[in-house]
Amino acid sequence: MTGLFRLSRIVKVLFSERIDAFLPAPKSGPLKLIAWCIPKVRTKKARGERLRDALQTLGPVFVKFGQMLSTRRDLLPPDIAGALADLQDRVKPFSGDAAQAIIERDLQSPVMDIFSTFSVTPMASASVAQVHAATLHDGREVVVKVIRPGIEKVIEEDLKLMMTLARFVEKNFEDGKRLKLVQVVSDYRMTILDELDLQREAANTALIRRNFEGSTICYVPEIYWDYTRRNVMVEERVYGVPISQVDVLKAHHVNMEKLAERGVEIFFTQVFDHSFFHADMHPGNVFIDITDPENPVYKAIDFGIVGTLDPESQSYLAQNLIAFFDRDYRAVAELHVESGWVPADTRIGDFESAIRTVCEPIFQKPLGEISFGVLLVRLFETARRFHMEVQPQLVLLQKTLLNIEGLGRELYPELDLWKTGKPFLDRWVKDRLGPKGLLRSARRQGPRWVMYLPKLTDALLSSPERLNRLERIAEHNQSSLQQIAKTVRANEHSRRWSLALGIAGLTAAGLGGVMAPAALLAYWPIGLAIFSVALILRR
């Protein structure tokens, strides 16, 4: 009954915001009748704003879903995606006393035994968790992140309803399959369930902190593992100006060009050097240390969503981007085929022409006039026309690029993304695929090769004996096959004779009946007897 009540509330909110107005037309007559009967509520709000407001009304799970949808510009019209991008990571907080109870339950200790100070009022409240300020007994300032109480049950129920609605739309509305809502909900399920485990987020944070250890352009807070559990995470508190406060940054004379360039450098470093990147870099998760305005430092938080690239995808992606920068569209098309992203039978010339049509207009323009994120979206759309399979790691990468591009536009619209990114990629390819890179790879793989060397040696030394054994088996099998072939031929010979005898017998019986009705009684037993012998011989 709870599920039905929740579903009725969802439907009520969606129809109150007239979300049905921009769904595809229903296929069936009954659905068209229902749609006709729905009262037409007048509103001056655009459809994207109506969807955004509906998701906010429905609660945290739907807010997070709207944020994710806003990155799928390949699936949504620009006006809807743009409105959804306005969704903030702030929702109504839950009780500070409830947060304290969760902390004490998970850490099995009173809050004041763990912290010397603890603020019951949350600093911020997001879709699945909120954070509180605290101080450890040794004086270190920390933030305590706490999962919303009961959120997992709510998420499971809402995800089931989302999937039901997605399947309903795909089945009953024109072009419903084109929206791929079932796939979107499935991807969202994996993402949000991962975010419910704060130990996973803590591990992600620790790895990225280690990757940027000693960096002068990016700082990641320390995790305090003694106080971290599935529902509670304690990390170092960092201070800085939110990157969204561009006016404040400019007022402090921060070098905006360098700040934008460092953002691009951090992104490429994570993707290509670390192969592990922050996939949720919206403005709420990035702060800037402006102690030295000429050398601003990024401070990143909230690593619940991360992406990885395997070495093969990493290499193909780097070579693809370099080919883009060089406008070598033939190489781009060939790399897509070589990587397996599009089928091997793709016509390279047609694919090259389609890519050129998408990419050529955007080059030699500053970032303020082009959209690299939209370029990738259009490129993926083009590749899908050539049956490109969905690459989850590329979807996360695309989402991150959209975030990075949004930051770049705000910070320094004149930034030349190509000029900033290409030297990094050239260095990476030379470093990884050149002689030094191959030598490092050999050193890294050396211990594994040494481990497998005895097995390889045994295999090589025993290969003549194995070949002799295989030859003997082959000779034996050849003899057996010849014997089987003889038997088959003999059986086939017998079958032919038995079939001929059977036909002859039945023919004789039939002719006897035709020639003289009185002879039928004489000929039928003979024919049946011959046919019976034939059946026995066939066995």
Nearest to 299 by CA among 250, 248, 373, 235: 235
d(Cα 387, Cα 316) in Å, to the nearest integer? 18
d(Cα 227, Cα 225) in Å, to the nearest integer? 5
Question: Dihedral (C-alpha) 423, 427, 429, 435: value to the nearest 10 degrees?
Answer: 150
Task: Report the first-to-last Cα separation within the chain, whole angstroms.
Answer: 65
Question: What is the 8-class DSSP label of residue 92?
Answer: P
Is 289 a residue of the active site? no
Say if CB 256 and CB 249 are below 8 A apart.
yes
Q: What is the DSSP string of 229-280?
A: -SSEEEEE----EETT-HHHHHHTT--HHHHHHHHHHHHHIIIIIISEEES-
Which parts of 71-150 fold into alpha helices (H)? 78-84, 96-107, 111-114
d(Cα 435, Cα 365) in Å, to the nearest integer? 35
CB neighbours (10 Å) of residue 65? Answer: 24
Nearest to 101 by CA among 134, 149, 152, 135: 149
Nearest to 55 by CA among 156, 204, 150, 162: 162
d(Cα 535, Cα 539) in Å, to the nearest integer? 7
d(Cα 193, Cα 200) in Å, to the nearest integer? 11
d(Cα 235, Cα 23) in Å, to the nearest integer? 44
Which residue in the list 53, 158, 280, 302 is annotated as catalytic? 280
Say if CB 173 and CB 22 are below 8 A apart.
no
What tokens does 254 get? 């921060």
The number of C-alpha atoms within 13 Å of 315 and in the hemisphere containing its C-beta is: 11
Which residues belong to the active site?
280
